[in-house]
Amino acid sequence: MNKLLGMQARSTDKAALTDKIRFLKRITPMVAAGFVKLLPVSVLFDPPRETPIFYSDNYFEDALPAEVLRLFRDHALVKSVRRAGKVWRVEDELLPCRAIYIEYQGHPNVHGEFCTYHDNAVKLDEEDRTVQFTIKRPDSAPSPERFAVWVRQSVNRAAQDLYTQTFGELMLARSIGALYCTRSELLAGVLKMQIRPTDSIPVHTTNTVMNLELPFLTDVQIDQLMRVRTEEGEAFHNFRTELDKQLRYLRTIDDPEKASRKAKDAVHELVEVQIRDISNKLASLKEKLWFRAAISTIGLLAAVQTSGISLLASATAVVEPALEYRKEIKRHPAFFLWKILKR
């Protein structure tokens, strides 16, 4: 089929391959810490060895539930594709032609759907269960009526393909106990129509954070983040609990802009206000320790002349409050974030 369309065989995109390898190398600390698990899910959606033939006597109008198919069609962007020498060029409009390009508003797909129109002569042999067909691809465009029907059928099939892959990914996520996340507004709308979304507080927190820009984490190295995550498990739990608490009330806000503003305020509270509170407490601790050390030094000068037991008592007077105060600091909900940014 590619030869018929004048397309050359694809060679390995070394730049894309390099980017993928660099990405895997960059997240190695997350995999080692058990924070990220990699699965070759794309293998499940590779095309079959044999090309399947699909047929519908109603142009695949029943390929999906009516309300779902309507949503896909409302978001479909269809453009003409024309041959320009050895390449195909996507036009800015849709006119009768032999090839079209389909993509969807609200869906950040890397590649849309490329469809071509052929004149076919089909011969069926039900006894041998075989089909023979001849493909012709003249330069002239089909009639406007046939073109309109073909475009509608192509949009229906493209919607069915995207829907099938999405639910395949969703079922896979459920089977391994994972939360299915997508940045596609279109797919999020489709999933909500078919499945009641999970409304737990942790899921809501995840959805909110995914839609926030977090510039203060831009310069944080992944290996440092994972080291703190591993070493300070209790601190991370406290941080996550506080984040759930800060964002919990946003579930009652229907206005997306207002909810986004409130979420930014909650993150600011954690990043700016509470981290500053930790810094102030640590500064206060240092002052207290210097004062206690100074008093203990005076006591030690006298204790040396009398009894060595006072040496241990004086040292304990300095160390015990410091340890207790550090435990209190580590229980602070922003300690995990403070530790990361400090590193």
Q: What is the largest CA-CA distance in the chain?
A: 114
pLDDT digits 0-9 by tens, 149-158: 999 999 999 9
Higher pLDDT, residue 43 or 18: 18
What pLDDT, in 10s, does the model give residues 202-255? Answer: 776 777 776 666 666 667 788 877 888 787 788 788 877 877 877 777 777 777
Answer for the pair 111, 230: CB distance below 8 angstroms, yes or no. no
| 222 closest CA partner among 19, 35, 3, 8 | 35
Is the whole model's pTM more than 0.75, yes or no? no
Contact predicate 228/338, CB 8 Å:
no
The residues, ordered by sequence, that sit 6+ positions from 244 with a Cβ below 8 Å of its Cβ are 201, 202, 205
Q: Which helix (H) or strand (E) holds 134?
A: strand 130-136
The C-alpha atoms of residue 117 and residue 78 are separated, in whole angstroms, by: 14
Q: Cα–Cα distance between 193 and 185 in angstroms, integer?
A: 12
